[in-house]
Amino acid sequence: MEKIKVISLVFVFFAFALFPGHALSQTDDDQHANHFFFAVSAMVSPAQTLTHFAEFRDYLEEKLGSHVHLKQRRTYEEINTLLQNATVQMAFTCTGGYLAGRQAFGLEVLAVPVVEGKTAYQSYIITSKNNPANGLDELRGQTFAFTDPLSLSGRIYPVAAINTMGYTTDSFFKKTFYTESHDKSIEAVATGLADGAAVDSLIFDALYELPNSFAQQVRIIHKSIEFGMPPVVVTPDLNKQKKRTLLKVLLGMANDSRGQIVLQHIGMDGFAIPSPDLYHSAILLRRQLKE
């Protein structure tokens, strides 16, 4: 059960739209003065996470004293569009999505989730147990699955590694495609649809502990260095008082009896203020991209 809860977090992994009864028109600013909108992206796709994030939404609504609404999107680019247009004020996104948004329109980190005592994760390169490859370099000429164009662990890391070898993905792999979630990438390798994939370490490790998981049918052939955890981000024009209030709520969850229950259900220890250099390695990695 604890591993299922970790999956529920990672930030945020919904395959369906949530809370349709709370949908509102956004044409009247006065109408929305007491409404708060946040978004999540689909890093993994189990429907059971809906109940857990309903608890998070309710908790946030109680603490803010506002009507809180959740929007879900399939890709990180769609999440960034919502943030850039101020359709939502906060989002759970991936590290690569945050860095892209920061560069494009000044997206800001509010807090970073703490999972199993850490605020960092890795990219795993995986292949099937029958594939003789023992490293990314040995997957040349084979089929590779990426998760999302903005995913640090699911695309940016392996592409940067291939670029440093002197190749582009088109010249290195026979074929590439996107799965839109880490669990689907693992399944693609396990079922032979792809020869290799790059996936989030937290999601892989959590799935590996589940009975009859596709993660048990593949093997890890490479682990990246650690990168800053996918963060909770806010729009740059959100007023300072609202930011302070949101941060106070998130940081206080671990010390609040109900907050502890919500955190437990979404597989998190709590939230922390990220250190100034937490995303430095990810920034350097993006600079290595040549495609």
C-alpha span between 248 and 245 (Å, rounded): 5
Domain CATH for 144: 3.40.190.10
> And the tokens for 161?
């590694």
C-alpha span between 114 and 282 (Å, rounded): 18
Q: Is residue 16 part of a domain?
A: yes
Q: Is residue 237 part of a domain?
A: yes
Q: Is residue 284 part of a domain?
A: no
Share of the chain above pLDDT 90, in %: 74
> And the tokens for 56?
């998070």
Shared-domain flag, residues 105 and 130: no
**Which of 142, 147, 178 has its CA nearest to residue 162?**
142
Mean of the per-residue pLDDT values of the chain: 87
Dump pLDDT digits (tens) for 124-139.
Answer: 999 999 999 999 999 9
Q: What is the number of domains present in the chain?
A: 2
Burial class (CB in 10 A: 0-12, 13-18, 19+), 211: exposed
Shared-domain flag, residues 8 and 109: yes
Average pLDDT over residues 259-269: 90
Is residue 264 pLDDT above 60, yes or no?
yes
Dump pLDDT digits (tens) for 189-240.
Answer: 999 999 999 999 988 998 899 999 999 999 999 999 999 999 999 999 999 9
pLDDT band at 164 (very low <50, low <70, confident <90, very high): very high
The gap from C-alpha 52 to its chain's centroid, in whole angstroms, comes to 16
Shared-domain flag, residues 260 and 218: no
Q: Is residue 146 part of a domain?
A: yes
Q: What's the domain range around 87?
A: 2-113+230-275
Shared-domain flag, residues 32 and 77: yes
Shared-domain flag, residues 109 and 133: no
Q: Is residue 48 part of a domain?
A: yes
Shared-domain flag, residues 35 and 134: no
> And the tokens for 24?
């509102």
Is residue 48 pLDDT above 60, yes or no?
no
Shared-domain flag, residues 253 and 204: no
91 forms beta bridges with 39, 233
Contact, 6 vs 115, CB < 8 A?
A: yes
Angle at 99 between CA 136 and CA 120, to 5 degrees: 60
Shared-domain flag, residues 135 and 155: yes
Contact, 230 vs 151, CB < 8 A?
A: no
Contact, 38 vs 68, CB < 8 A?
A: yes
Looking at 200, 224, 248, the residue that finishes a domain is 224
Shared-domain flag, residues 166 and 255: no
Average pLDDT over residues 277-282: 96
Looking at 224, 247, 263, the residue that finishes a domain is 224
The gap from C-alpha 132 to its chain's centroid, in whole angstroms, comes to 30
Looking at 224, 256, 286, the residue that finishes a domain is 224
Burial class (CB in 10 A: 0-12, 13-18, 19+), 169: middle
Residue 56: φ, ψ to 5°: -65, -45
Shared-domain flag, residues 29 and 60: yes
Dump pLDDT digits (tens) for 6-25.
Answer: 444 444 433 333 333 343 34
What confidence score (pLDDT) does residue 70 get?
87
Q: Identify each DSSP E strand in the chain by its residue range.
A: 35-41, 67-73, 90-92, 108-114, 120-121, 123-128, 143-146, 175-178, 196-200, 218-223, 227-228, 232-234, 270-272
Shared-domain flag, residues 167 and 199: yes
Q: Is residue 195 part of a domain?
A: yes
Shared-domain flag, residues 186 and 247: no
